[in-house]
Structure 1
Amino acid sequence: MFLKAEIFKAISFSNPVKLPLSYWLLVLLRFVLTLIPQTGYIHPDEFFQNVEVIAGDILTVDVARTWEFNPKFPIRNIFVPKIVLGPPLHLMRIVNPYSKAYLNINLLTPYYLLVIPRIFICILSLINDYCLYRICILYGQNFKNRLKIFASSYVVFVYCCRSFSNAFEMIFFSLLLLLVAECMLKSDKVIYHEEFLTEKYNQAETPVDKVKIFKLKTHLPEHSFNRVFILATLVVIGIFNRPTFVGFAFAPIFFWLHRGLGSKVVGFKDFHYRIFTFMLCGVPMTLLLILVDSSYYGYLTNADIESLKLSWDNWVVTPLNFLRYNSDTKNLKQHGLHPRWLHLIVNMPLLFNVLGIIALTTLSSNTYRFIRGQYSKLPRIQSITGLMLFSLVTPVALLSLFPHQEARFIIPVLIPLIYLYGNHLHPNEADPPKSKRLKNILCYIWYILNILLTLFFGFIHQGGIYPFANSLHREIKSYYGVHTHVITTHSYSIPTYLLQLESTTKVWKDKTTGHKYRLAPTTFLHKYGSLPINELFEKIDDVLNNAEMLLHKYKRQYRFYVASPCSLEQEIREASRAYNYIDIEQEFSYYPHFCTEAIPKFPSSRDQYCFESNVLRTNESQALDLSIYQRMSCFLKKFCFRIYRVRPANYKI
């Protein structure tokens, strides 16, 4: 009985331990930064791949459905966005009438539409923290330092609190690592005790002792197929969310399949049984997600189900469409081709700064040892270190094979990265003085760079888009029925759902007459990317002529804006001279706003723009050269987002 108790005690997991106050302050800061809100705009995909589409479905408003959701060739699964973003958006829709009536708070405004889904995602991001904490506890590692490093990363502050499919992928990856780590630990302990009891059974001299030991062996818990259904389901959901999840799931599933392989009680027969069972357990969720996508995109209708006339044309498998699309280099060229070393040389240091550099240095040393045959100095394969090492290397290596590489694609590897190298930023008592100083310096660099990057990506990068959308929403509501034209250039697209435009695709019904109708659009967002300014003015001319025609023919009042980075003001002014019948006047500006599409040039000592921008305010000063301080001030003023009002030149207020 004592031996039996010891077995179960060894297999059970440790009790939770209190977390440091500094960690909780960082978690609180994560929520505060989300509530402020963060005005930075990292990439259009944070809106248009998830929340834009789901908001259109739930709130019945006009949205921009990108090509990825085209029913003719859909490549995005709808299940994960619905599960993650559906609850907060449904909550807003249900609660809004009551909040307006009793609290005079309209939840369907840009601030709440931006913040409430992000807060929900921010809560879900704590799953990553928990998984890292549990893995450290299970394997007796220092979790306090690692959690502080993790919670202070700008990747967590910015990326993990936004509706990126990569943020969801990181959650699935963290859960997968935790589940596999638990299974590995349990299998190691069960196999150890099973081998121990087998040895004692063979050494037993009497039948009574053999029976006792045999009974103890029967009480050992089953471990070979532990968590197989949950793991298979999680992998399937992750792949449908982003097919790149195959690269992240490969290492954990490989380690799960190889648990105990090579021991006396686990052989290749168990390995093959595990593979077959894992694949079988993934079938139900695969069929469910295919059914969900096929119904959502209109491939499968109620009439088809009732008539039982189903064919291959009734089904759509979005991950396969994703792979078909991205396997064609011509398609990737539209999104930008990158060198295959970009993840390794640029994105790793950009996302993880000193930790990324430490990882690259350590991995280079391990590669050298492997080539030299110094295998004893390498991490043991069937260990938690081996799991984390392969979970870090494999995704980055596989994703580097594709010529389109964005930094956010590899954010999930933050968990294994911090587990492996997080303690390199905190000195230990056993470290020599030089090592302590180096670790302290690296720790300061980590915190300083993450503060700067949080400010840049959270508030500065494309930071004028959200404030402009907020102002535009108020103006559209104030001038209801007036046509509003907005041209954006050299900047990201305005998330349409923030404007809460009444749906022009839904069929409405008049309660009195019963007549069905559709609303005509009154707001027009023209997105021209990085179109040259001369060509842009041709578009401005066309829009203005059309608006003037509707004004004179049907009395359709209109308001027309052009939104552009301030760095393009000189080009816009010069191009406007060729259109003397168009009056383009600065309306307002939003600062700060940084965009790589129009990075301003540092002004010369006699830059005319700086004089016209009132950097120097006296007429006499125009004969003087600008000082370096004045040039710097002028340069920084160009990092803004400027809104111009467009009217005919003879327009009178």
Structure 2
Amino acid sequence: MFVDTEILKAISFKETAKLPCRYWVLVFLRFLYTILPQRGYIHPDEFFQNVEVIAGDIFSIDVSKTWEFDPKFPIRNILVPKMILGPPLHFIQFFNPYFKHYVGIDLKTPYYLLVIPRLFICFLSLINDFCLYRICVLYGQNFRHRLTIFASSYVVFVYCCRSFSNTFETILFSMLLLIVAESMQKSDKVIYHNEFLKEKYENAATTVEKVKIFKLSTHLPQHSLNNVIILATIVVIGIFNRPTFVCFAFAPIFFWLHRGLGSTVVGFKDFHFRIFTFIVCGIPSALLLILVDSGYYGYITMADVESLQISWDNWVVTPLNFLRYNSDTGNLKKHGLHPRWLHVVVNVPLLFNVLGVLATIMLSINAYRFVRGQYSKLPRIQSITGLMMFSLVIPIGVLSYFPHQEARFIVPVLVPLIYLFGNYLYSNDIEGRFTRKWKFIFRYVWYLINILLAIFFGFIHQGGIYPLAKSIHQDLKRTSNYGQHTYVVTTHSYSIPTYLLQLESTTKVYKDKKTGHKYRLSPTTFIHKYGSIPVEALFDKVDTMLTNAERLKAEHNKNYKFNIVTPCSLDIEVKKTAARYNYFKLDQVASYFPHFSSEALPTFPGIRHEYCARNSSVPPHKMILAERLGCYLSMYCLKHYQVRVIATKFY
């Protein structure tokens, strides 16, 4: 019989079953966790690939646009981040005057600029939950356990509530899986009834009976091109968002194309017609995205359209530029090359811990069965289990081929992973005591590791950058002397998201109301990011910048503030190097704790340690282990210094 046993379960399954209370508690915690806010900073791309650029366009402020948005060779689509981040940022722009007037709250401060877009993305992340829930309901699977495991993952708490392009990719992938799963179920039902009626028709004894059966078959719904337009649109949007979406979309689209293939009523003619229709339906959305990118990056203007002087040079296809850039290994070296086993050996356990390990073991067993020809022990190819398995394996396998691998690249596979193995952490009545015990242990290891990682990536990893940005923003607002220059030099830490500072635009053209004279503002805030530069080389640059700042002050009366920001682990080296310059001193403004920076990890202090002695009220003494441990942990912070000039270099 063609119909899947999973479909039979779904027929009698009660879709009105309520979600467990523990799931709603986890959803509430997800939103609360976002509002706190999360001070942690996973990767610069969470700001500089999306919200930084869109905020600059909407607020007309100075922002830091990365090379990916260079009009000469753009590789990032602009429509997808505008669709997702535009609404919350336009909300801030529109309602800020009313909030300031009636409530006394300025929405253009670092807290609201950080939280409101994240809160909107957090709402969108519920799409992932809904898609997993609907797939489970459609196929009669236990959604309670799976949803609880899904909602308790730190990936959902942290990654899925940030403005990563991978977050948008996860949402699109979840939607794709749900639509394909629904199409598969509908096709299975229609094909089953179609084959049943076909068999009855062939065995009918009379013409009247054949006519009745034929009429019944004509009332069967169409299923071959189910959801083709929305599927094609999602795939095109996903590819423009991240061209790696091809890896994620391959399995769902493959299963959508192969629905019913091999049955007596679906043949290769249907298969080829589906492919043709799918491609045609994707063309309008592709043209729209190309048009938007071409207009945004200045390749096509209204003047070009009006004059009908349009050529191939007026169009830009960002996914093609993305592929051209990443196909060059030399370009990938700039971002770091990784071994091809990194995703499987490191990133899967890091993101999915216990479930990642269980999945690796179970998929290895299935691979062994396939090699040995034990096909009866494998899931049926045209089943929901087959869809989810290929949707898990293919993206990780293909992305492992590329030498640049980051954990966030495989975040979208969380939904198929939870569907396949989420239930493995819960025992059932037919299992033995030993199995129940280990499942209980695995479940609580899952919860414990996710809690620890949620705290680490949510609050500790690069956790000093947000309070630093907040402090600088407040300092800029307090500055009463218009035109005062502010210098911020950072090292061994991630870049400060410039949009949080709300710097006035230096590219916007202003007009004097009295004279009508047009002018641009000169920059007054200068942020210098020096990565992991050695401390001595850093102060060579500081010396040069201070010299220029002092010259401007002497010649044009330009007052300034000069800030240096480094991890606490470099405190001793920074102060010793600064002491060599006799015309300035460093005054500590603040210390932001916790702040984990892998670029400058502290060393465990000895019995007597200079850093510990400086930061202790107790006279120098031999420290016991507990004191050394406390001192070591205290070095995971970010130091904010202000330079005070005590002697001029000019005569």
Both structures adopt the same fold (TM-score exceeding 0.5)? yes
What is the correspondence of 1:177-256 to structure 2 with a 5 Å cutoff?
A: 177-256=177-256
- Write the distance in 1 (CA, Å) between the matches of 2:108 and 2:429: 54
Match of 2:132 in 1: 132
Q: 474-483 or 536-545, which moves further after superposition?
A: 474-483
Following TM superposition, the consecutive aligned residue runs of length 4 or more in structure 1 with deviations greater than 3 angstroms are 9-16
Structure 1 window deviating more from structure 2 (12-21 vs 217-226): it is 12-21
User: Counterpart in 1 of 2:63?
Assistant: 63
Separation of aligned partners in 1, 2:221 and 2:37: 49
Partner of 1:544: 546
The alpha carbon displacement at 1:574 in A equals: 2.1
Worse-superposed segment, 580-589 or 74-83? 580-589
Q: Secondary structure at the match of 1:90?
A: helix
How many residue pairs get aligned? The number is 639
Find the partner of 1:576 among 575, 578, 587.
578
- Per-residue CA deviation, residues 362-416 of structure 1 (Å, 9 max, x unaligned), is 0111111111111111111110000000000000001001100000000000000
What is the CA distance between 1:127 and its match in structure 2? Answer: 0.2
Please state whether the residue corresponding to 1:404 is helix, strand or coil. coil
**Long gaps (5+) in structure 1:** 1-6
Summarize the Cα distance change of 1:10–1:30 in structure 2 as closer, same or farther, 3 Å threshold.
closer
Aligned partner of 1:592 in structure 2 is 594
Say if 1:14 and 1:138, in contact at 8 Å, map to a contact too.
no
| Counterpart position of 2:441 | 441
Alpha-carbon distance between aligned partners in 2 of 1:617 and 1:334, rounded to the nearest angstrom: 47
Matches within 5 A, 1:12-411: 15-411=15-411
Equivalent pair of 2:76/2:322 in contact (CA under 8 Å): yes
Give the structure 2 partner of residue 3 of structure 1.
Answer: none
The 5 Å alignment of 1:602-621 reads: 602-614=604-616, 617-618=618-619
Which among 495, 511, 514 is matched to residue 512 of structure 1?
514
1:10–1:143 CA distance, 2 compared to 1 (3 A): closer
Displacement after TM superposition at 1:13 (Å) = 9.6
For the 8 Å contact 2:184–2:259, the answer to whether it is kept is yes
Equivalent of residue 569 in structure 2, options 563, 567, 573: 567
14-23 or 31-40, which moves further after superposition?
Answer: 14-23
Q: CA deviation at 1:276?
A: 0.6
Q: CA deviation at 1:14?
A: 6.3
Asked if residue 633 in structure 1 is aligned to residue 602 in structure 2, the reply is no
1:11, distance to aligned residue in structure 2 (A):
8.7
CA shift in 2, pair 1:16/1:294, >3 Å: farther
Give secondary structure in 2 for the equivalent of 1:645: strand
Pairwise CA distance, 1:12: 12
| Cα pair 1:485 1:560 within 8 Å, conserved | yes
- What 5-or-longer segments of structure 2 have no aligned partner? 1-6
Residue 509 of structure 1 and its aligned partner are, at CA, apart by 1.3
Alignment check: 8 A CA contact 1:11 1:186 kept: no
**Local SS of the residue matching 2:580:** coil
- Of the structure 1 ranges 145-154 and 539-548, higher mean CA displacement relative to structure 2 is found in 539-548
**Counterpart in the other structure of 1:455:** 455
Residues 119 and 10 of structure 1: is their aligned pair in 2 closer, same or farther, counting only changes over 3 Å?
closer
- 1:570, CA displacement in angstroms? 1.4
Amino acid at match of 1:528: Y
Does the CA-based 8 Å contact 1:11-1:190 persist in structure 2? no
- What is the one-letter code of the residue matched to 1:451? I
Q: Give me the identity figure in percent.
A: 67
Q: Which amino acid aligns with 2:353?
A: N
Structure 1 residue 511, shift from structure 2 partner:
2.1
1:43-78 deviation digits (Å, cap 9, x = unpaired) = 000000000000000011100000000000000000
What residue number does 1:426 align with?
A: 426
Shifted more, 577-586 versus 59-68: the winner is: 577-586
CA contact (8 A) 2:100 2:106 kept: yes
Aligned to 1:644: 641
> Letter of the aligned partner of 2:225 in structure 1?
F
CA distance in 2, matches of 1:236, 1:140: 31
Q: Secondary structure at the match of 2:61?
A: coil
Q: Distance in 2 between matches of 1:635 and 1:297?
A: 48
Aligned equivalent of 2:528? 526
SS of residue in 2 equivalent to 1:17: coil
Offset of 1:575 from its aligned partner? 1.5
Q: Are 2:10 and 2:139, in contact at CA under 8 Å, matched by a contact in 1? A: no
Is the partner of 1:134 in helix, strand or coil? helix
Relative to structure 1, the CA distance from residue 124 to residue 504 in structure 2 (aligned partners, 3 Å threshold; closer, same or farther) is: same
1:325 & 1:170 partners in 2: Cα distance?
23
Please say if 1:557 is aligned against 2:559.
yes
1:317-366 Cα offsets, whole Å, 9 max, x none, are 00000000000011111100000000000000000000000000101111
Kindly provide the amino acid, as one letter, of the partner of residue 326 in structure 1. Answer: N
Deviation of 1:10 after TM superposition, in Å, equals 9.1
Distance in 2, matches of 1:22 and 1:196, equals 44
| 8 A Cα contact 1:544 1:647, kept in partner | no
Which AA in structure 2 matches 1:228? Answer: V
**TM, length-normalised to structure 1:** 0.96
Q: How much has 1:206 moved relative to structure 2?
A: 1.1
The answer to whether the aligner puts 1:491 opposite 2:488 as a matched pair is no
Q: Distance in 1 between matches of 2:72 and 2:379?
A: 49
- Asked whether the 8 Å contact 1:132–1:147 carries over to 2, the reply is yes
